[in-house]
Structure 1
Amino acid sequence: MTLVQLEYIVAVDDYRHFATAAEKCFVTQPTLSMQIQKLEDQLDVLIFDRSKHPVVPTEAGAKIIAQARVVLREARKIKEIIDEEKGRLSGALRLGILPTLSPYLLPLFIRNFLERYPDVEVQVEELITEQIIDKLLKDQLDAGLFVTPSGVAGLDEKPIFNEEFVAYVNPQHPLSQVETIDPFLLKVDDVWVLNEGHCFRNQVLNICQPQEENHEAFRFQSGSLEALKKLVDKHGGLTLLPELATLDMNEAEKSRLRWFNEPRPVREVSLVMHRSYIKRKLTEALYNEISAALPPGIRSKKNTQLIRWN
């Protein structure tokens, strides 16, 4: 049994396709298939059910693959120990980030981080929460930036900041006439929301009052907060935005913002790793860089109410 063989079975489990797994491992499919077959012969057990399309692990195979992930994760810690001894930060950092965070948070820190650590290659994927969690647990990501608490066992969550929810209101809407608003004034059927799957959508629905039974001539849900803003501008109504999304607004857009009364609803944004994560120094450096890049005051929130998404 070799580490290479374990890498091959993990790759097949990740991609559920022998040819794709071989491509990702930079070997030919016959080479990958032969090594997996040798491992199965050695263990005297089938790891994959090849009659299924896509290929799936057998019951015993799923347990073997889970243990293979642990072994490979521990093996990679050897290089981390060496790097720490040499006092260097280098290599790839695979980061997952929410679509409702990426366009607003990423530009605040990524340039300084890359300049400070030129030997680090940052690979960023924009994913919804469930996808980030799944990839963290499968060791396909080193860290994730998303909203916590997740309640998922096996993850280490390091809160960075609490971000307020802000209403973006069309000037013709009644709520545009008030300076601050209470959550009980918001009705779901009056708020433009994101598609299902976004944790931000779930939090918005948790803030708003239940939907009333009525017929709507037009109802639209988007995967983009910017699209929802444009709907408010052109079609009316309101939407909720994360606080960071308001930083680069022009004066006309800022005039449409309405903040909540205390306790103000917030979401907790964290840097999340697998509990047995490697690259500890690298993720600590990332955490510190993000914290330092935040606008003044965003970390020191008082009299707020944490809104859960799950």
Structure 2
Amino acid sequence: MFHLLKAFLSVYETHNFTKTANSLYLTQPTVSAQIRKLEDHLNVTLFIRNGKQEILPTKEADFLYPRILKIIEEWNDAITHVNTQKSYRENCVLASSQTCGTYLIPKIVPILVKRFPMVNFSFPVMSGEEIVQALEKAKVDFGLIETPERSELVDRYIVTKDELVLAGDPDSDYWLLPETDSPLGFINENYLKSNNLTPNIIRTYNHEMVLALLKHHVGKTIVSKLALEQNLPYQCLDSFGERNLYFLTRKKVVSEKLGQISAFIQEQLSHREMFS
């Protein structure tokens, strides 16, 4: 039965029998037969075959996906514990957005690895939307982001505030404007519109470039105070001055150890001295 469930998960995620066959080292007819067998067992249709390539999940598949995902995770977790016993090392993937990954994760890592020496940690950096999608598919365990992303499969907690400041030369005619689809790009554009400002724009597509330009006294922009070097000038903002930072978990944390890690990270991030 487990091989049928794994085939279902892959087809649901890829919407493609051929991609599933390649990832599971099976033939495409074998995958089709496995899905058909699962549908017969459940007496429901799980996928609509819309042409040769496109596979669309039904509402029954949408209902089953997170539940089967949990079943497979718990089974894999149980097998790993049984096989490794006392030498068992848990894996934990904490994904973060650019700002959180650059300025908060390095402060958390030393205390995390000390507190949980039998855990293998990974810290990928992704966009907030990518992190939510990875959580939904159980590709990561936790997320740390600065945008209020939502999902029915994910719990979201406000863990702290991030102070935003107007950094750079206050008299400059140039405004450093990050990519529109980035969190800081969105904030900067809203600030300019709200204050009816029309400065000369320098488009930037890299956060490190923004900081380097500020360091060389070129322009001004709204950034996280966490990112500023000690000697860079900045002004506090009356509006747009704070944003929430969010810790994300799946609705059900599979293992007891991951639950402990989740609580520990949230507790550490609640301390304001973490930002100093």
> TM-score range with shorter-chain normalisation?
0.7 to 0.9
Give me the TM-score of the superposition, normalised by structure 1.
0.69
Look up the match of 1:28. 26
- 1:257-296 mapped onto 2 (5 Å cutoff): 257-260=233-236, 265-279=241-255, 281-289=257-265, 291-292=267-268
Unmatched 5+ stretches in structure 2: none
Name the CA shift for 1:260/1:46 in 2 (closer, same or farther; >3 Å): closer
Alignment partners' CA distance in 1, 2:215 and 2:22: 47
Q: Which has the higher contact order (CA 8 A, sep 6+)?
A: 1
Alignment partners' CA distance in 1, 2:33 and 2:91: 29
Q: CA deviation at 1:18?
A: 3.5
Q: CA deviation at 1:102?
A: 0.9
Q: CA deviation at 1:282?
A: 1.5
Look up the match of 2:47. 47
Q: CA deviation at 1:272?
A: 0.8
Cα deviation code 1:126-146 (max 9, x no counterpart): 221122222323333322111
Look up the match of 1:307. none
Name the CA shift for 1:23/1:111 in 2 (closer, same or farther; >3 Å): farther
- 1:178-193 mapped onto 2 (5 Å cutoff): 190-193=174-177
Look up the match of 1:12. 11
Look up the match of 1:174. 171
Return the letter of the residue paired with 2:26.
T
Alignment partners' CA distance in 2, 1:194 and 1:269: 19
RMSD (Å), alpha carbons: 3.8
Say if 1:192 and 1:228, in contact at 8 Å, map to a contact too: yes
The DSSP-based 3-state class of the residue aligned with 2:99 is coil
Q: How many residues align?
A: 270
Look up the match of 1:109. 108
Q: CA deviation at 1:47?
A: 1.7
Q: CA deviation at 1:165?
A: 1.0
Identity of aligned residues (%): 18
Look up the match of 1:186. none
Alignment partners' CA distance in 2, 1:266 and 1:49: 48
- 1:244-263 mapped onto 2 (5 Å cutoff): 244-246=226-228, 249=229, 254-260=230-236
Return the letter of the residue paired with 2:103.
Y
Alignment partners' CA distance in 1, 2:190 and 2:209: 21
Look up the match of 2:97. 98
Q: Does 1:221 align with 2:204?
A: yes
Give me the TM-score of the superposition, normalised by structure 2.
0.76
Unmatched 5+ stretches in structure 1: 176-188, 301-310
Q: CA deviation at 1:98?
A: 0.5
